[in-house]
Amino acid sequence: MLKGIPTIISPDLMKALMEMGHGDEIVITDGNFPAASCAKNILVRCDGHNVPEVLKAILKFLPLDTYSDKPVGLMAVVPGDNVVPVIWDKYKEIIRENENREIDIEYIERFEFYERAKKAYVIVYTSERAQYANIILRKGVIKEC
């Protein structure tokens, strides 16, 4: 163990975060997402955890891309589905707390989201039960002051 690293961040997840470069994407999924079939590179399982707690832990280390108009993507609600993803409000709060700025969010059609997830550097599977709880983050750069 190391100081300051939340226990929810496994060695495999920390390694993946460290290996990611500018523009690489990480997908944090809910329990219904086909994570194993979409993960073409790295799959990290965070069974027993939910997306907000994983998102909060990851954003302690991962800067969001400032060169992208929308460095965060959410799976859009399928037309006709009467779901209101209230979990998105929690995501926006967590992002705002960690980035100290407003972030524009992209809403991505379900099958387009799957295709984008297949290109992600890492997919983090959680046991989140909320529908439409999947989120994509694009890694930014650490700028020297």
User: Per-domain residue ranges for the chain?
Assistant: 27-138
pLDDT band with cut points at 50, 70 and 90 for residue 145:
low
**122-137: average pLDDT:** 98
Answer yes or no: is pLDDT of 141 > 70.
yes
Q: What is the pLDDT of residue 1?
A: 73
Residue 102: predicted pLDDT: 87
Q: Please identify every residue annotated as catalytic.
A: 22, 65, 114
The residues that bridge with 139 in the sheet, in sequence order, are: 64
Helix (H, G, I), strand (E, B) or coil at 35: helix
The three-class DSSP label of residue 108 is strand
The pLDDT value recorded for residue 67 is 94
The HSE-up count of residue 137 (CA atoms within 13 Å, CB side) is 28
CATH classification (class only), 27-138: alpha beta
pLDDT attached to residue 114: 98
- What's the chain's average pLDDT? 96
